[in-house]
């Protein structure tokens, strides 16, 4: 049986490994961070994590496994997620023009600027939350690995990491069904949504052109995933 500290640490590593790879969620977090600062980026990440918490509760109640039995429902959710990603990609393209630094003479008053940043942070949370609820990758995770984390057994933590999982298989294997693993998993996500926006904001302050570059990359990532998910949905439904 794996010790509690090891299971907790593995859960944190698991959460970071699942949150870190490039994808639509990190595209939203990156865009919000460089355009509106750390708070906006953190709140966007919090929106995505809130959706994970909802999926976690639904998995506990057995609802997630129930939805898996209805391919049409899953296809509609995938299609909706794809359409939302395309819509947010369009918004990211618009943000490219507005993300260049303004001259000092063009700067708004401090109170107005603070209000705009607060509104942007709230919008970022909603965008990430709604997108995460329809993100096929998050849905698939909770249909498979997420449900598995709740049941007694064993999990190969790094093997589930996107892109690099095959090369890391067998390095970290822990017991599932442990509260420590779940706590560590969400703790790892918190580490990522705190650190990732901070790193982006730090880089943006040193490079004037960083914000429009990130906004452009976010638009490309969101558009690519949007087209992919809409195509997957159409393939199932048609």
What is 192-212 written as a DSSP string? HHHHHHHHHHHHHHH-TTHHH
Q: Which of 11-15, 81-85, 173-177 has the lowest mean pLDDT?
A: 173-177
Token reading at 69? 């039995």
Contact 146, 59 (CB under 8 A): yes
Confidence of residue 103 (pLDDT cuts 50, 70, 90): very low
The C-alpha atoms of residue 69 and residue 188 are separated, in whole angstroms, by: 30
**pLDDT for residue 62 is more than 60:** yes
* Mean pLDDT across the chain: 77
- What are the backbone angles phi and psi of residue 151, rounded to the nearest 5°? -105, 140
pLDDT, position 166? 62
Q: How confident is the model at residue 170 (pLDDT cuts 50, 70, 90)?
A: low
* pLDDT tens figures, 171-211: 666 777 788 888 999 999 999 999 999 998 888 776 666 66
User: What phi, psi does 134 have (nearest 5°)?
Assistant: -115, 10
- Name 199's Cβ contacts closer than 8 Å, sequence gap at least 6: none
What's the pLDDT score for residue 135?
80
Tokens of 101: 């630094």
* Residue 45 in this model has a pLDDT that exceeds 50: yes
Spatial CB neighbours of 40, under 8 Å, sequence gap ≥ 6? 32, 33, 117, 120, 121, 124, 197
Q: Which two tokens stand for residue 64?
A: 């997630």
């Amino acid at each position: 049986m794996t010790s509690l500290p090891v299971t907790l640490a593995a859960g944190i590593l698991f959460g970071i490994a699942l949150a870190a790879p490039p994808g639509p969620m990190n595209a939203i977090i990156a865009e919000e961070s460089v355009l509106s600062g750390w708070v906006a980026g953190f709140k966007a990440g919090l929106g995505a994590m809130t959706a994970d918490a909802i999926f976690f509760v639904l998995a506990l109640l057995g609802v997630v496994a129930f939805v898996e039995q209805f391919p049409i429902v899953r296809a509609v959710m995938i299609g909706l997620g794809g359409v939302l990603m395309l819509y947010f990609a369009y918004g990211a393209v618009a943000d490219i023009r507005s993300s260049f630094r303004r001259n000092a003479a063009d700067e708004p008053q401090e109170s107005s600027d603070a209000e705009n940043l607060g509104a942007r942070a709230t919008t970022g949370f909603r965008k990430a939350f709604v997108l995460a609820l329809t993100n096929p990758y998050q849905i698939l995770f909770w249909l498979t690995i997420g449900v598995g984390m709740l049941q007694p057994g064993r999990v190969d933590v790094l093997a589930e990491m996107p892109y690099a999982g095959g090369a890391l298989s067998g390095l970290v294997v822990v017991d599932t069904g442990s509260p420590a693993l779940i706590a560590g998993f969400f703790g790892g996500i918190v580490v990522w949504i705190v650190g990732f926006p901070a790193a982006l904001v730090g880089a943006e302050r040193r490079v004037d052109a960083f914000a429009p570059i990130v906004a452009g990359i976010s638009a490309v990532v969101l558009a690519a995933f949007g087209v992919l998910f809409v195509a997957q949905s159409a393939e199932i439904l048609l």
